[in-house]
């Protein structure tokens, strides 16, 4: 069903971004992949190209950096002028501390990546989608954007911004065939917490203790589904949590 479609995925070398790239490849979607660590998946890329007979181009891009974003779009092959799916996945949480204890530099990185980076990429792709009168933007938000929690206030604020930006773009595009979806996952066991705790694996593991967390594949499957709906069907938001999670902080853990 998605054969010959074209997708741009940011943050494509790990977690939800990687699994979405892999699942899209398996569904014969041509891929434009951005990541800060794109070399990490260069073997996968070569394998997917051959196995699924698709075009893949990958670039080292830090979405926080506007000139890098502008440069990569300048040198892109015109093949990518009609992207069908933009998956704005690049994002991260840094630290779990009160506002007064949090590192300001961590705030800058979260705001620059999760909000500004998403906007920079969207600003480049949206005019092409409008010109072609087709497309679908899939933003990766979070339950953190729905239910604020202590010690993660700035991260929560960035994901609330993703929700607002998704809503706003959806309003601006109401008279077009372009869809906007905000995916809001809860506990997903990826390197998310390892990044948040700056490599402290023990702290990171604790986040997923006593609960069967979601996997990045679970989220990739939802992304594939929202991308597979009929042209008149727009999935606006998906909030997806493990069965034993009810809000960002209400979690039942088995001992
Ligand atoms: C990730 C989920 O609950 O750790 O966005 O904020 S949570």
For the chain, domains (ranges, CATH) are: 6-240 (3.40.50.720)
State residue 138 phi and psi, 5-degree precision. Answer: -115, 110
**What pLDDT score was predicted for residue 153?**
98
User: What pLDDT digit, counting tens, does each position of 41-94 carry?
Assistant: 999 999 999 999 999 999 999 999 999 999 999 999 999 999 999 999 999 999
pLDDT, tens digit, for every residue of 231-250?
999 999 999 999 999 999 99
Other beta carbons within 10 angstroms of residue 217's beta carbon come to 15
Element (H, E) at 109: helix 104-110
Distance from C-alpha of 125 to C-alpha of 73, rounded to nearest angstrom: 9
Q: Where are the beta strands (DSSP E) in the chain?
A: 6-10, 30-35, 56-60, 85-88, 136-140, 179-185, 237-240
Task: For residues 67 and 156, give the distance between their C-alpha atoms in angstroms, rounded to a whole number.
Answer: 27
Q: For residue 255, what pLDDT is reported?
A: 80
Convert the pLDDT of each residue in 122-138 to its tens digit.
Answer: 999 999 999 999 999 99
Helices (H) and strands (E) in the chain, counts: 9, 7
Closest CA to ligand 1's atom 4:
187
The mean pLDDT value of the chain amounts to 98
Q: List the catalytic residues.
A: 155
**252 CA to middle of ligand 1, Å?**
15
CA angle 137-111-66, nearest 5°? 70
Q: Which pLDDT tens digit goes with each residue over 3-37? A: 999 999 999 999 999 999 999 999 999 999 999 99
Rounded to the nearest 5 percent, the helix, strand and coil shares of the chain are 45, 15, 40
pLDDT of amino acid 185: 98
- pLDDT confidence tier of residue 1, bands split at 50, 70 and 90: confident
Ligand 1 pocket, residues with Cβ under 6 angstroms: 142-144, 186-187, 192, 248
Sign of dihedral through CA atoms 250, 109, 62, 200?
Answer: negative
- Residue range 137-145: average pLDDT? 98
User: Rounded to the nearest 5 degrees, what angle is found at the Cα of 166, between the Cα atoms of 165 and 169?
Assistant: 80
Nearest CA to ligand 1 atom 2: 186
Determine the pLDDT at residue 203.
Answer: 97
């Amino acid at each position: 069903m998605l054969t010959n479609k074209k997708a741009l995925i940011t943050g494509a070398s790990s977690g939800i971004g990687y699994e979405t790239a892999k699942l899209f490849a398996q569904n014969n979607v041509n891929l434009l992949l951005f990541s800060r660590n794109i070399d990490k998946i260069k073997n996968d890329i070569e394998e997917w190209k051959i196995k699924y007979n698709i075009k893949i181009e990958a670039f080292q891009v830090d979405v926080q950096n506007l000139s890098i974003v502008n440069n990569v779009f300048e040198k892109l092959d015109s093949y990518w002028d009609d992207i069908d799916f933009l998956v704005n996945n690049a994002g991260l949480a840094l630290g779990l501390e009160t506002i007064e204890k949090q590192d300001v530099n961590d705030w800058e990185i979260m705001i620059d990546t999760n909000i500004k980076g998403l906007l920079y990429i969207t600003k480049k792709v949206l005019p092409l989608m409008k010109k072609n009168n087709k497309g679908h933007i899939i933003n990766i938000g979070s339950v953190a954007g729905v239910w604020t929690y202590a010690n993660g206030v700035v991260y929560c604020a960035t994901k609330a911004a993703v929700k607002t930006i998704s809503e706003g773009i959806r309003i601006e595009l109401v008279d077009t065939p372009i869809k906007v979806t905000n995916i809001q996952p809860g506990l997903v066991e990826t390197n998310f917490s390892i990044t948040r705790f700056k490599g402290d694996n023990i702290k990171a593991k604790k986040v997923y203790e006593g609960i069967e967390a979601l996997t990045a594949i679970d989220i990739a499957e939802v992304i594939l589904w929202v991308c597979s709906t009929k042209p008149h069907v727009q999935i606006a938001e998906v909030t997806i949590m493990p069965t034993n999670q009810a809000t960002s902080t209400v979690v039942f853990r088995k001992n």
